[in-house]
Amino acid sequence: MACVLETPLRMSVLSEVTASSRHYVDRLFDPDPQKVLQGVIDMKNAVIGNNKQKANLIVLGAVPRLLYLLQQETSSTELRTECAVVLGSLAMGTENNVKSLLDCHIIPALLQGLLSPELKFIEACLRCLRTIFTSPVTPEELLYTDATVIPHLMALLSRSRYTQEYICQIFSHCCKVRMQALKCFSVLAFENPQVSMTLVNVLVDGELLPQIFVKMLQRDKPIEMQLTSAKCLTYMCRAGAIQTDDNCIVLKALPSLVRMCSKERLLEERVEGAETLAYLIETDVELQRIASITDHLIAMLSDYFKYPSSVSAITDIKRLDHDLKHAHELRQAAFKLYASLGANDEDIRKKIIETENMMDRIVNGLSESSIKVRLSAVRCLHSLSRSVQQLRTSFQDHAVWKPLMKVLQNAPDEVLVVASSTLCNLLLEFSPSKEPILESGAIELLCSLTQSENLALRVNGIWALMNMAFQAEQKIKADILQGLSTEQLFQLLSDSDVNVLMKTLGLLRNLLSTRPHIDQIMSTHGKQIMQAVTLILEGEHNIEVKEQTLCILANIADGTTAKELIMTNDDILQKIKYYMSHSNAKLQLAAMFCISNLIWNEEEGSQERQDKLRDIGVVDILHKLSQSSDPNLCDKAKTALQQYLA
């Protein structure tokens, strides 16, 4: 009997379950939106942990209706979110459930949902996508049907802790997406502290993202994966999310990038490896030192200039043709990395310059047809020009100033900025290149740079002129003043950038040094210079600017005839007096230098000057300052008072 009864009983139970399930589905079609929402919430509660109920609802066609409601603009955000939650719950059932959902085109609908501004809805869609993509039956390709998907997912990463978690889980499960995700991570982290800080704390299956990148650096992984992981770590490090002394940088990323520079690697891998390494170590002295002694890197890079070394080594003729066309990229990458390596350390610079034919290579690089090679050759030269020793030796032996002046003739701004910085160094007073550069028309060139719209070029132009004027002979100083014109000098003194202003004041200070020069320049430009000094001392400027300006006045006060321009200018005398009592000791000291130079006994007319300064109250201030707790001020005041007693 029991056997006979068994089948009908099972059927009736099934029809009962189906009937109760149908009730859930029917409610999804109610005209009242509130009832529909309540129906979805009840459905959500009914399917939790109940695989049979999930299967029934799928059979009864709940999925198309849920997807329809999810995509309707007229549906409330709450309803759309609840629909996504239920769909996610259905996906957590069996693999057959996932297949059924895929057949209903759930993925495009959920991806569309990610464009919503509502975070709760986005999170629900992502949670459901995560469940579907982590199922073995879901083809990865479905994530790539639209090229905008991955970048959009990357943009959602930083929205919340959940968006991070779900997206990273999707990425870590899709093998093909791993490479794409890696590339996106590297693009997003580049010079982006916010994204980098987000990525550094992301957990994927209990592991931090940087640790996953480190695993991808292992030698058995594809080269592209190793390189891109090293890039991710590099960019996160440069954005401040990973410390430069962290093991994942020092022991993992840096050595991996050096490995990419070896001649076993393909041309593009060597280029990318060197450029990424150059960026990683660019601003960190310790990393520069470590890189310079890793795997004979400095010598290894010299192979970049001998490419391809032997034609026979490349059997593939197509490859050879490709590499010959791209060999200049290797030279560019090598110059870039040499520039970073030599940015700070004198010993490293020496090693680089002693590499075979290095200076010849730079000189050749400066006149290559490729703008990128020219730029990185100039960068390399700039880096090496920071060395006093090299300026006196190698730079002189190879007359690097010649091709450099040529580069400066009609280069784009990007090249001009670095080339003019290098010129600043070649014009330092101890550099033997200074004379020939002057003879080749540098003053005119630099004066024209000071009129550039580009701030960096204005700074470099005036900086180079400042270096040129340091301890220069009268003729050079006169040429500079003539080349600049008073009008342009005023323009620079009223520049909104403090760097330009400081360098212009530095130039003036260098022009107004040694007595005959001071008197000569003040006899022709005195009125305008005094006017400029007055304007700056009255303006809203920082301490450094005012200190530099007072030092210029002290230089003028040191002239024989020039000091009269101060003594006959009551406004300036009052300003000097004011700064003697200023709250800042630097400014007080600079004002004292002016006074000392004006009252010095051994000079003609000192008695009249002393009397005039006593009348305006300078001596009273000197007495006060001679009691100062600042030893410098105290000494200076006492010395000045002795001039009155002598």
Question: Computed from CA positions of residues 426, 430, 432, 436, in that sequence, does the dihedral angle turn out positive or negative?
Answer: positive
Residue pair 594/554 in contact by the 8 Å Cβ criterion: yes
- Higher-scoring residue by pLDDT: 5, 197: 197
Report DSSP letters for 525-587, one per residue: HHHHHHHHHHHHHHSS--HHHHHHHHHHHHHHHTSSSTTHHHHT-HHHHHHHHHHHT-S-HHH
pLDDT band with cut points at 50, 70 and 90 for residue 8: very low
Nearest C-alpha neighbor of 84 from the set 74, 72, 94: 72
The confidence score (pLDDT) of residue 16 equals 52
- Whether residue 414 lies inside any domain: the answer is no
The confidence score (pLDDT) of residue 73 equals 87
pLDDT band with cut points at 50, 70 and 90 for residue 646: low
Q: Tell me what the pLDDT averaged over the chain comes to.
A: 89
Alpha helices in 600-630 (DSSP H): 606-615, 618-625
Angle ∠(374,379,380) on CA atoms, nearest 5 = 100
Q: What is the DSSP letter of 344?
A: S
pLDDT digits (tens, 9 = 90+) for 566-620: 999 999 999 999 999 999 999 999 999 999 999 988 888 889 999 899 999 999 9
Q: What is the DSSP letter of 600?
A: -
The confidence score (pLDDT) of residue 134 equals 87
For the segment 522-542, the average pLDDT, to the nearest whole number, is: 91
Distance from C-alpha of 39 to C-alpha of 42, rounded to nearest angstrom: 5
Q: What percent of the chain has pLDDT over 90?
A: 62
In angstroms, the Cα distances linking 431 to 113, 362, 398 are 66, 19, 13
pLDDT band with cut points at 50, 70 and 90 for residue 175: low
Residues 6+ apart with CB under 8 A from 181: 150, 154, 171, 174
Which structural domain range is residue 520 located in? 512-645
Find tokens 């009252």 and name the residue: 599
The confidence score (pLDDT) of residue 99 equals 94
Nearest C-alpha neighbor of 91 from the set 69, 107, 113: 107
Q: Which of 39-48, 185-194, 454-463 has the lowest mean pLDDT?
A: 185-194
For the segment 59-80, the average pLDDT, to the nearest whole number, is: 93
Q: What is the CATH number of the domain that holds 137?
A: 1.25.10.10
The confidence score (pLDDT) of residue 204 equals 74
Task: Tell me which of 145, 173, 201 is where a domain ends.
Answer: 173
What angle separates helix 585-599 from helix 618-625, to the nearest 10 degrees? 130
Phi, psi of 134 (to 5 degrees): -85, 0
From the CA atom positions of the chain, what is the Rg in Å?
Answer: 37
Residue 16: Cβ within 10 Å count: 10
Residue 486: Cβ within 10 Å count: 16
Task: Tell me which of 119, 142, 173 is where a domain ends.
Answer: 173
Peptide bond into 308 cis (omega under 30): yes
pTM above 0.95, yes or no: no
The confidence score (pLDDT) of residue 13 equals 40
Task: Tell me which of 156, 173, 190 is where a domain ends.
Answer: 173
Q: Is the pLDDT of residue 449 over 70?
A: yes
The confidence score (pLDDT) of residue 436 equals 83
DSSP-derived 3-state class of residue 208: strand
- Higher-scoring residue by pLDDT: 280, 441: 280
Distance from C-alpha of 558 to C-alpha of 519, rounded to nearest angstrom: 9
- Higher-scoring residue by pLDDT: 315, 75: 75
For 48: left if phi > 0, alpha if psi spans -120 to 50, otherwise beta; the answer is: beta
pLDDT digits (tens, 9 = 90+) for 128-172: 999 999 898 998 888 878 888 888 888 888 788 889 888 877 877
Give me 501's structure tokens. 């202003």
Single-letter code of the amino acid located at 601: N
Find tokens 């197509």 and name the residue: 318
Residue 591: Cβ within 10 Å count: 26
- Whether residue 547 lies inside any domain: the answer is yes
In angstroms, the Cα distances linking 550 to 185, 481, 630 are 52, 21, 19
What's the half-sphere exposure (Cβ side, CA atoms, 13 Å) at 186?
18
In angstroms, the Cα distances linking 448 to 401, 461, 535 are 19, 8, 25
- Whether residue 369 lies inside any domain: the answer is no
Q: End-to-end alpha-carbon separation of the chain, Å? A: 138
Distance from C-alpha of 379 to C-alpha of 347, rounded to nearest angstrom: 18
Distance from C-alpha of 245 to C-alpha of 249, rounded to nearest angstrom: 7
Distance from C-alpha of 188 to C-alpha of 568, rounded to nearest angstrom: 63
The confidence score (pLDDT) of residue 486 equals 85
Give me 608's structure tokens. 């009249």
- Whether residue 96 lies inside any domain: the answer is yes
H/E stretch holding 204: strand 203-204
The confidence score (pLDDT) of residue 324 equals 81
Distance from C-alpha of 234 to C-alpha of 226, rounded to nearest angstrom: 12
- Whether residue 357 lies inside any domain: the answer is no
Residue pair 111/73 in contact by the 8 Å Cβ criterion: no
- Whether residue 392 lies inside any domain: the answer is no
Residue 18: Cβ within 10 Å count: 15
- Whether residue 621 lies inside any domain: the answer is yes
Distance from C-alpha of 333 to C-alpha of 271, rounded to nearest angstrom: 6
For the segment 78-85, the average pLDDT, to the nearest whole number, is: 95
Give me 261's structure tokens. 């520079």
Nearest C-alpha neighbor of 206 from the set 156, 172, 242: 172
- Whether residue 157 lies inside any domain: the answer is yes
Distance from C-alpha of 133 to C-alpha of 177, rounded to nearest angstrom: 11
Single-letter code of the amino acid located at 476: I
Q: What percent of the chain has pLDDT over 70?
A: 95
Domains in the chain, number? 2
pLDDT band with cut points at 50, 70 and 90 for residue 310: low
Give me 284's structure tokens. 């960190």
Q: Which of 180-184, 270-274, 303-307, 492-496 has the lowest mean pLDDT?
A: 180-184
